[in-house]
Amino acid sequence: MNDLRKDPVSGRWVIIAKEQMLKKEDVVEYPKPLETDSKSCPFCAGHENMTPPEIWRWANPDGSWSVRVVPNKFPVLRVEGNLDRRGEGVFDHVTGIGAHEIIVETPNHDYLSLQEDGEQMFRILTAYKIRLEDLKNDTRLRYGLIFKNFGGEAGAHLPHPHTQLIAMPVIPKHVKEELVNCKMYYELKERCLICDILLEELERDIRIVGETEQYVAWSPYAARFPFETWIIPKNHSACFSLENDKSLRDLGILFNRILQALRRVLESPPYNYILHTRPFAFSPRHKQTTIDDDFHWHIEIIPRLMKIAGFEWGSGFYINPTSPEEAAHVLREALTG
């Protein structure tokens, strides 16, 4: 029989449709990694004049770069301007103040070479940390969301490996749901919800995908999508940008291994990953908060294998035909194989 499972972090319900199983004909037809001409790619080395002026770079001793951060040429939110919050009858209005940046992950146009280099992933994570720390100094902004779209079905427009960072004057709904549920759990038990989940998962050891000294990856109990995988630090931490170099190197190793396993098992699927960390700031009415104790930053990796249909849009439920236990087993074998 199929299961209905509730995710304690987000509060959402998922149907684990074990009786259906993921069939080849159910999988979204998606393009293979794009093979556009690197000569016209604005993110390749030597084409720096094709992007807006860079914000930050990981400079190499020979004058080249490993990672660049540039403003998005077509930003959804802009740094320039004044923040205006006002009501329009029953509606709320906030001016489109924020930041929209591109983290160019490598000067190399070939995404496969990136996934073979753990040290390069450390450099990318360092760029995330530095940019989040800088943007939180802007008192107009309350949250910085880092996300990656890989492949056309996942929303990528350019094939060159890159991540996006959007900082905004409000806290996104999905993040707020996690914050509320984690806080409620802490108020009831005086413990971090995600820390408790981690202990439970390590004890059961049926959804663990892999781990390093400081990080664990697992398939969530109520995974929304086939092969959805989360990575979290073993030690409690609410804020990603407070991690030191040793921690980020360790994270880079596990992160890289998980992405490689997904590539091998699912033949380079389109995917998204999202970094959920603590907000930069809260509204003035929330001056007292226990967030440093109740929230636990994490990365969510979501292969885009299936389309969202009417039931999902209408109900808020997700239907996942691959059980998290089976997905974890397959990915574990790919890591060790």
In this prediction, residue 285 carries a pLDDT of 60
How far is Cα 328 from Cα 337, in angstroms, rounded to an integer?
A: 14
Using alpha carbons only, give the angle 258, 22, 114 rounded to the nearest 5 degrees: 25
How far is Cα 158 from Cα 35, in angstroms, rounded to an integer?
A: 10
β-partners of residue 231 are 217, 299
Tens of pLDDT along the chain (337 residues) come to 777 888 888 888 887 786 555 555 455 555 444 455 677 899 999 999 999 999 999 999 999 999 999 999 988 888 888 888 888 787 887 778 899 999 999 998 876 655 555 789 999 999 999 999 999 999 999 999 999 999 878 778 888 999 999 999 989 999 999 999 999 999 999 999 999 999 999 999 999 999 999 999 999 999 999 999 999 999 999 999 999 999 999 999 999 999 999 999 998 889 999 999 999 987 666 655 799 999 999 999 999 988 888 888 888 888 899 999 999 999 999 988 6
In 206-328 the beta strands, taken as DSSP E runs, fall at: 208-211, 215-218, 229-233, 271-276, 298-303, 318-320
C-alpha dist (Å) from residue 111 to 38, 117, 162, 257, 275? 12, 11, 9, 15, 20
Angle between helices 173-189 and 193-204 (to 10 degrees): 80
How far separated are the first and last CA of the chain, in Å rounded? Answer: 32
In this prediction, residue 29 carries a pLDDT of 53
Q: What is the mean pLDDT of the chain?
A: 88
In this prediction, residue 33 carries a pLDDT of 46
Q: Name the one residue in this structure whose structure tokens are 């490996």.
A: 161
For 268, counting Cβ atoms within 10 Å of its Cβ (0-12 exposed, 13-18 middle, 19+ buried), the class is: middle
CB under 8 Å to 243, separation ≥6 — which residues? 129, 233, 237, 251
Check if 162 is active-site. Answer: yes
The CATH fold of domain 3-336: HIT family, subunit A (3.30.428)
3-state helix, strand, coil in the chain (%, to 5): 35, 25, 45
**Backbone phi, psi, residue 229, to 5°:** -135, 135
- Pairing state of beta strands 143-150 and 271-276? antiparallel
How far is Cα 156 from Cα 154, in angstroms, rounded to an integer?
A: 6
For 167, counting Cβ atoms within 10 Å of its Cβ (0-12 exposed, 13-18 middle, 19+ buried), the class is: buried
- Token pair belonging to 115: 């996934």
How far is Cα 10 from Cα 295, in angstroms, rounded to an integer?
A: 12
How far is Cα 168 from Cα 280, in angstroms, rounded to an integer?
A: 10
Q: Where are the domains of the chain?
A: 3-336
Q: Which of 109, 162, 276, 296 is catalytic?
A: 162
Is the CB of residue 236 less than 8 Å from the CB of residue 192?
yes
Helix (H, G, I), strand (E, B) or coil at 319: strand
How far is Cα 264 from Cα 27, in angstroms, rounded to an integer?
A: 16
In this prediction, residue 337 carries a pLDDT of 67
Radius of gyration from C-alpha coordinates of the chain:
20
Counting DSSP H helices and E strands in the chain, the numbers are 8, 15
In this prediction, residue 119 carries a pLDDT of 87
Q: Name the one residue in this structure whose structure tokens are 């995908």.
A: 209
